[in-house]
Amino acid sequence: MRTAIYPGSFDPVTLGHWDLIQRAEKLVDRLVVAVLHNPSKTSAFSVEERVEMLRELVGERPIIEVTSFHGLLVDFAKTQGAQCIVRGVRAFSDFEYEFQMALMNRKLAPELETVFLMPKERYSAVSSRLVREIGSMGGNLTELVPPALRERIAHRLQQD
């Protein structure tokens, strides 16, 4: 049984994340999409909201689970019996941060592999940070977030 963890902040989930989930799903037997509880980082959406939106998006796909985690990713991965971590790389600018994190995770847990996947080119410039910024100013979120969640995300960002 091959289990992968796809960790992230998902604040909020974007079309880039969704593209990656669908790519990762084809490679493993079980995919755990995991939202980090990060008390030191202020977020626009609560962890519960982020998990709920991801669950709505994933629907009834049997091999995908959505959950949240505290603490070190490698410790969470062990509790899930995972063999690998999936991360998305959109552009060269993502690489340095991802490379550092992958090597550090390897130091902490040598048996765990990090696998990088590339989302569709059209999502190269899509990030949760830009979604938050555009959404909070009433901009159009089409092409940035999944259609089924667009209203909810836009509404919520305009409340802040």
Q: Who's near 79: CB < 8 A, 6+ residues apart?
A: none
* CA atoms of 94 and 111, how far apart (whole Å): 24
41 is catalytic: yes
Of 43, 50, 87, 128, catalytic = 128
Q: Which of 40, 41, 93, 107 is catalytic?
A: 41
Torsion of CA 105, 131, 36, 106, to 10 degrees: -10
- Contact indicator for 1, 30 with CB cutoff of 8 Å: yes
- In the numeric block, the tokens 């603490």 are attached to 71
Decide if 128 is catalytic: yes
Instruction: State the minimum distance, in angstroms, from the CB of residue 49 to ligand PNS.
Output: 15
Residues that bind ligand PNS (CB under 6 A): 7-9, 36, 72-73, 101, 104-105
The three-state secondary structure class of 45 is: coil
Q: Are strands 30-36 and 84-88 parallel, antiparallel or unpaired?
A: unpaired
Q: Between 9 and 151, name the residue whose CB sits nearer to ligand PNS.
A: 9
Cβ proximity to ligand PNS: between 28 and 47 the closer is: 47
Instruction: Please say which residue, 52 or 94, places its beta carbon nearer to ligand PNS.
Output: 94
The H helix count followed by the E strand count for the chain is: 6, 5
Assess whether 17 carries a catalytic annotation.
Answer: yes
Least spacing, CB of residue 36 vs ligand PNS, in Å: 4
Instruction: Return phi, psi of residue 116, to 5°.
Output: -100, 135
Q: Which is nearer to ligand PNS, 114 or 141 (CB)?
A: 114
CB of 50 to ligand PNS, least distance (A): 11
Q: Which residue is nearest to ligand PNS (CB)?
A: 8
Active-site hit among 50, 87, 90, 132: 90
* Residue positions annotated with a catalytic role: 17, 41, 90, 128
